[in-house]
Amino acid sequence: MAGRMQKVSPIGYDKIDTEHFTIVEVMARIQTCIESQEWGVVRVASARLISEMMRHFEDEEQLMALRSYPMIEQHQRNHDCARACLSRFEREIDQTTPSEPAVRRCFGELAKIIHHEITDDDPRFVAHLKMLER
């Protein structure tokens, strides 16, 4: 399946690392359940994913503002893109009989966005935080 979530490496900020590991774990569960078409489990796991992602974004955005992160606007735009994708994914899985191709397409898009967040955006932010701690 396109969009398979990979294990993530710690980026060196415990709270963010913990959130990343949880998000990837939930994504892996969703992917397994999409593949077996266990839509009830996909819905439950997706509700958890949405909750985890929203909390992650809120935590990060508060910390970015507090630490005067110079790329905050771009990072928030990326969060907004992820929020929109989460919303599309939620609409697809909330169908009485979800369309497997549509769910897979949305999930793949979501996985790419989350991968970018975890491997590109957040490490830049953590580097900024670590620079301030010196």
- Residues 80-89 have a mean pLDDT of 95
Residue 2's pLDDT band, with cuts at 50, 70 and 90, is: very low
Q: Name the residue ranges covered by the structural domains of the chain.
A: 14-133
| pLDDT at residue 6, as a whole number | 61
The listed CATH number (3.30.70.890, 1.20.120.50, 1.20.120.400, 1.10.3720.10) that belongs to domain 14-133: 1.20.120.50
Asked if residue 28 has pLDDT above 60, the reply is: yes
| pLDDT at residue 68, as a whole number | 94
Task: Give the DSSP letter string of 72-133.
Answer: HHHHHHHHHHHHHHHHHHHHHHTSSS--HHHHHHHHHHHHHHHHHIIIIIHHHHHHHHHHHH
